[in-house]
Chain A
Amino acid sequence: AQSVAQPEDQVNVAEGNPLTVKCTYSVSGNPYLFWYVQYPNRGLQFLLKYITGDNLVKGSYGFEAEFNKSQTSFHLKKPSALVSDSALYFCAVSGFNDMRFGAGTRLTVKP
């Protein structure tokens, strides 16, 4: 079965510093991986995806993610964090009939 795991419930970073939100995956076959962001009392918004091709995927709002097949990881990164990046981030993997989500990582960026 397809699954993803987010090992950190919470990530804190100072504004202007680089940020990383971690995700590992377990799939049979080639993975279709996604990152979404959720602001309070809102639905999830698509950030970026990995289907195939370059291991470094660029997405919305300056975010990027690095696909690492040997480590089965798909970590979300941003070179310089903003206070407005504070939100809940979900990693997800596309299955046959649905999408499976991680438990989420709450990112807090402090001024």
Chain B
Amino acid sequence: DGGITQSPKYLFRKEGQNVTLSCEQNLNHDAMYWYRQDPGQGLRLIYYSQIVNDFQKGDIAEGYSVSREKKESFPLTVTSAQKNPTAFYLCASHSGTDNYGYTFGSGTRLTVV
């Protein structure tokens, strides 16, 4: 079955450490997105990519970095510059041509310890 796989499901980060969240899709979708979810704030866009080797900052890109070397993969790195990284991170993809909105992964919960 096609879908989006995020890993790990839970991740713990020490202060000053960089961590990378994985997002892989086998839907052949061109566009991929990273959202951050905090209680009561809905989803906020971190980065998005509409094509391989190209990506754009979203509303809250500071302290994060991404790459899009392959169509299937869109990893997110949470750097030490992100001062409040504890959150639930969601990856999504979209074909750009269908009207069924986005397909989401199951998320990664990141906690700073």
Contact = CB atoms under 8 A, between A and B. Distances in A.
B42 A41 contact: no
Interface string B33-60: 1010000111101001010000010100
A97 B56 contact: yes
B41 A103 contact: yes
B108 to A, nearest CB: 10
Contact of A41 (B35, B43, B92, B109): B109
Contact of B40 (A34, A90, A94, A103): A103
Interface string B66-106: 00000000000000000000001010100000011111111
Contacts of A49: 99-101
A55 interface: no
Interface string A28-57: 000010101000011111100101000000
Interface in A56-89: none
Chief secondary structure at chain B's binding surface? strand
Nearest to A104: B42
B101 A43 contact: no
Size class of the contact patch on chain A: 20 to 34
B48 A97 contact: yes
B99 A51 contact: yes
Contact of A98 (B42, B58, B103, B104): B58
B90 to A, nearest CB: 6
Contact of A99 (B9, B102, B107, B109): B102
Contact of A101 (B40, B42, B107): B42
**Residue among A43, A99, A101 with the most chain B CB within 10 A?**
A43
Interface of B: 4, 6, 9, 33, 35, 40-43, 45, 48, 50, 56, 58, 88, 90, 92, 99-107, 109
Given A43-B4, A44-B102, A97-B50, 15 more contacts: A32-B99, A41-B88, A41-B106, A41-B107, A42-B107, A43-B6, A43-B107, A44-B90, A46-B101, A46-B103, A49-B99, A51-B99, A94-B101, A101-B35, A103-B42
